[in-house]
Amino acid sequence: MEIVKWINTALGIDNTITVPILISLIVFIIGGLSKFIFEYIKILIKRKSTRQRFSSLLNKVADNLKDKERNTEKFYPTITIENTDGWKYTHKPISYLEIIYLIDFNEIHNSFYSKFRWYSKNKRIKKEEAFHNIWDTLSNIKFLESQLEKNLLDLQNNYKEFHDQYRYFLQEYQNYHERLLNEINNNLPRKGEVLIEYLDYQERYWSHWTKLPLKERNYPHITYSTIINPMYKLNQKFPELPFVEQSGPLILQCEHNYAEMKNALKTSYKQFKGYSSQYKNSREKILSNIENIGWINNFTN
């Protein structure tokens, strides 16, 4: 071989030395090159696996968001004071979102950016923006989930606080009404047109309430519409009667707490209606950015 002769001439050695050296060099170079190629292939396979896993998890998160959208869409219309079946919403964390955050961000970032660099500048910029938009959306979803859980507790606690107060003052008024009836029946003659008219109206309200099915009588919107609000208006019509001065504060407390109950529910209604829209928007953003990056048909490459 010419190269062997050239080495022998240049270095003043013979084949017994040159050939073993060349064989060792060739083996070393081939071994190093093979190791480099093998390690690079391992990196490519790992990056592809990371892209596949991340993309699969994103699609599952999108499916979870669709379920969340449907659940909140069904839930928020029930947040009214007229609802007698209670509020049934089971908050289930988006487990796939938590799994995504367990993956090292740099690993995900590098797996995609190593692929983006092969695109033209404009396409690369669009794909990089879509990638960051996905992470922004995931961060918003994570915050949304934490707020929803908090708002569920607020709904229960705020409503319960005013509902308990409403029931307390309603019971106080019922007790007063019973004492008033006993006092009138035992001591006060039913005379005077104003007094008789007031008592007739009052009796009519209570009579209507007692004729309702037993199950319905204690619903707040029923007691309010049949007793509390009519009595509030009746007291305004007959401010000169002593009964008004005695029952007025109790009625006003019921009015106040009923209004606060409705306000608490109104706030929660708007919140969960907003959650339904935000889940929908988040899902659409994820799918849109997946498409912009090109994962819909070829995200595993």
Amino acid at 192: G
pLDDT confidence tier of residue 240, bands split at 50, 70 and 90: confident
Neighbour count for residue 16 (Cβ, 10 Å): 7
Q: What is the Cα–Cα distance from 73 to 89, expressed in whole angstroms? A: 11
Range 67-88 average pLDDT: 91
- Can you tell me whether residue 299 is helix, strand or coil? coil
- pTM, full prediction: 0.77
Cβ neighbours of residue 232 closer than 8 Å, sequence gap 6 or more: 251, 252, 255
Q: With H, G, I as helix, E, B as strand and everything else as coil, classify residue 269.
A: helix
If one compares 293 and 117, the residue with the highest pLDDT of the two is 293
Pairwise CA distance, residues 281 & 278, whole Å: 5
Read off the pLDDT of each residue in 268-289 and give the average, rounded to a whole number: 94
- Mean pLDDT is highest, among 22-26, 92-96, 200-204, 255-259, for 255-259
User: What are the tens digits of pLDDT across the range 22-50?
Assistant: 667 676 677 677 676 767 677 667 778 88
How many alpha carbons fall within 13 Å on the CB side of residue 143? 8
**Cα distances (Å, whole numbers) of residue 150 to 106, 144, 241:** 31, 10, 47
pLDDT digits (tens, 9 = 90+) for 156-190: 899 999 999 999 999 999 999 888 878 777 665 55
Query: How far is residue 88's CA from residue 248's CA, in Å, rounded to a whole number?
Result: 36
What is the mean pLDDT of the segment spanning 252-257? 96
